[in-house]
């Protein structure tokens, strides 16, 4: 039976360390770390995420700036706000909550954010830095997944690692982070010929496709570490991941639950990135 990887506990540990480092940084520099979060429209899930980010900021000692814009906000108006925040010395991190309304091009907005304040690490400059292994920030969810893997005490080095999903936000950067730690990485997706066989070879399996219970127990290698990034709502209202938890628990050595696994890590890593941004800007005298 697999051991649970408790994301809430690991995230609490990350936030506690950020809080301690933030107090030290503020005492030494007189700078209060500031995170600006932009939300456009009234997507209920986005509102929950933004509220949780605000709570986390309060917990670690950050100043939280929220910009809640109506759904009819134009792209030009949003870009103008981003430029204003880019030039605001009290703001060290800028996050634009996705998804944006259909009339706004997400790529254009992300590209407008100053890479030094891009604490989501979505800007092409930061993506490129992750590719070559010389980065300031890591995307929050993949970085959180790596923290969860580390918490097991199992080394990635030399392991067969399979990532199911190739999104820019999770799948691709996840593969790069595993590669940076000398894992042998396979990326699977909707065109993969034999997903079951690819998964069965994995010592470390990361599922991030948004398909409820896609990964069954017979797709998992005995003793594998299973990280479930999926967050899906079933018809009965219950949440589940991309992995069939009950079946997978019989085969894996470690597994993340849904909820309570990867989810809490994303915001914890956002706090870590924002502090890093503030430290970098202070070091440059900005």
Identify the active-site residue in 117, 118, 120, 200. Answer: 120
17 is a catalytic site residue: no
CA angle 199, 201, 207 (to 5 degrees): 30
What is the token pair recorded at 258?
């849904």
Q: What is the DSSP string of 29-40?
A: H-PPPEEEEEEE
Q: Which is nearest to 118 in space by CA: 62, 58, 48, 36? A: 36
Identify the active-site residue in 55, 63, 76, 97. Answer: 97
32 is a catalytic site residue: no
Side-by-side strand order, sheet with 160-164: 3-4, 254-255, 225-228, 204-207, 160-164, 184-188
Helices (H), the chain: 7-29, 44-60, 75-86, 106-112, 124-132, 140-151, 171-180, 195-200, 245-249, 263-283
d(CA 189, CA 89): 42
120 is a catalytic site residue: yes
d(CA 37, CA 92): 11
Active site residues: 53, 97, 120
């Amino acid at each position: 039976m697999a051991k649970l990887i408790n994301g809430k506990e690991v995230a609490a540990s990350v936030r506690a360390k950020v809080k301690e480092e933030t107090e030290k940084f503020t005492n030494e520099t007189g700078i209060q770390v500031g995170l600006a979060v932009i939300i456009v429209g009234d997507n209920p899930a986005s509102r929950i995420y933004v509220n949780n980010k605000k709570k986390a900021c309060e917990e670690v000692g950050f100043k939280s700036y929220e910009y809640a814009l109506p759904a009819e906000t134009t792209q030009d108006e949003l870009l103008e706000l981003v430029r204003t925040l880019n030039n605001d010395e009290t703001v060290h991190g800028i996050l634009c909550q996705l998804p944006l309304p259909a009339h706004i091009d997400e790529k254009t907005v992300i590209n407008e954010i100053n890479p030094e304040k891009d604490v989501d690490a979505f800007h092409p400059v930061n993506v490129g830095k992750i590719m070559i292994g010389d980065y300031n920030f890591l995307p929050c969810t993949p970085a959180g997944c790596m923290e969860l893997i580390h918490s097991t005490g199992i080394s990635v080095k030399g392991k067969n690692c399979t990532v199911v999903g190739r999104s820019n936000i999770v799948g691709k950067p996840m593969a790069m982070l595993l590669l940076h730690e000398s894992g042998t990485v396979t990326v699977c997706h909707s065109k993969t010929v034999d997903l079951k066989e690819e998964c069965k070879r994995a010592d470390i399996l990361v599922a991030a496709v948004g398909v409820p219970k896609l990964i069954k127990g017979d797709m998992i290698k005995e003793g594998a570490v299973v990280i479930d990034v999926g967050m899906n709502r079933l018809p009965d209202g219950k949440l589940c991941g991309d992995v069939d938890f009950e079946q997978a628990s019989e085969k894996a050595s470690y597994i993340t639950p849904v909820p309570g696994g990867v989810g809490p890590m994303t915001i914890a890593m956002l706090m870590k990135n924002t502090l890093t941004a503030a430290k970098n800007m202070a070091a440059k005298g900005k």
